[in-house]
A and B are shown apart, each in its own frame.
Chain A
Amino acid sequence: NAGVTQTPKFQVLKTGQSMTLQCAQDMNHNSMYWYRQDPGMGLRLIYYSASEGTTDKGEVPNGYNVSRLNKREFSLRLESAAPSQTSVYFCASSPARGAFFGQGTRLTVV
């Protein structure tokens, strides 16, 4: 039982490059989330998906797109990376009670 798995764990991008962060959960949860955490700060919600086939914007969606490919997978895409997107990205999945987080992806944009 892996829980919530994020890939990659670390990534360095050049400004303007694109990439997709992957997230998969094996707990059959309906809701999934993407957050970013900047140094010394709390977690801010980028996008979330209440169920397969639905996605909604969170607090800081600009510069990102998401895909809820199926119930297990929720990916986050940066189309044209900017230095301001340097951060640690966390994926989470949630049943009706509680939430479970992946280990995070540390992204640096140079």
Chain B
Amino acid sequence: GIQVEQSPPDLILQEGANSTLRCNFSDSVNNLQWFHQNPWGQLINLFYIPSGTKQNGRLSATTVATERYSLLYISSSQTTDSGVYFCAVRGNAGNMLTFGGGTRLMVKP
């Protein structure tokens, strides 16, 4: 099946700093999403972005499907951004939605 790798696995930021999270995948995809899992365990949809660029407030994401990677940008980070960020993809060849291992982000005040 499709392989999904996220980097870095852990990230510690000072409040106000910017960061870039990366998601690499091993095959063509028709579905790519970024999720934020908050400290209570809830999975929150951030972006549906199988290709192109989207922005939502301080967050933006870019997927370069031909090169099989996606980036999530967090600007002016806040303590409420802490949690785990997951990338999930569905390959063109099937229906499985596969998650990466996540990036655990801690934003310090």
Interface residues of A (CB under 8 A from B): 31, 33, 35, 41-45, 48, 50, 56, 58-59, 88, 90, 92, 94, 96-101, 103-104
A42 contacts B99, C-beta separation under 8 Å: yes
Nearest CB in chain B: distance from A97 CB, A: 6
Q: B31 interface residue, CB < 8 Å from A? A: yes
User: Looking at chain A's contact residues, is the secondary structure mostly helix, strand, loop, or mixed?
Assistant: strand
A102 nearest CB neighbor, chain B only: B43
- Report the minimal beta-carbon distance from B29 to chain A, rounded to whole angstroms: 12
Name B97's contact: one of A48, A88, A96, A104 (CB within 8 Å).
A48
Question: B100 near A42 (CB under 8 angstroms)?
Answer: yes
Partner of B41, one of A45, A59, A88, A92: A88
Seen from chain B, the residues whose Cβ lies within 8 Å of a Cβ on chain A are 1, 31, 33, 35, 41-43, 45, 48, 86, 88, 90, 95-102
Contacts of B86 in A (CB 8 A): 42-43
In the assembled complex, the CB of B45 is this many whole angstroms from the nearest CB of chain A, namely 7
In angstroms, Cα B98 to Cα A94, docked, is: 13
Residues of A within 8 A of B90 (CB): 94
State A100–B33 Cα separation when bound (angstroms).
10
- What are some 19 contacts across the A-B interface (CB < 8 A)? A31-B97, A41-B101, A42-B101, A43-B86, A43-B88, A45-B99, A48-B95, A48-B97, A58-B96, A59-B1, A88-B41, A90-B43, A94-B31, A94-B97, A97-B48, A99-B45, A103-B41, A103-B42, A104-B42
* The one of A42, A50, A99 that contacts B33, using a Cβ cutoff of 8 Å: A99
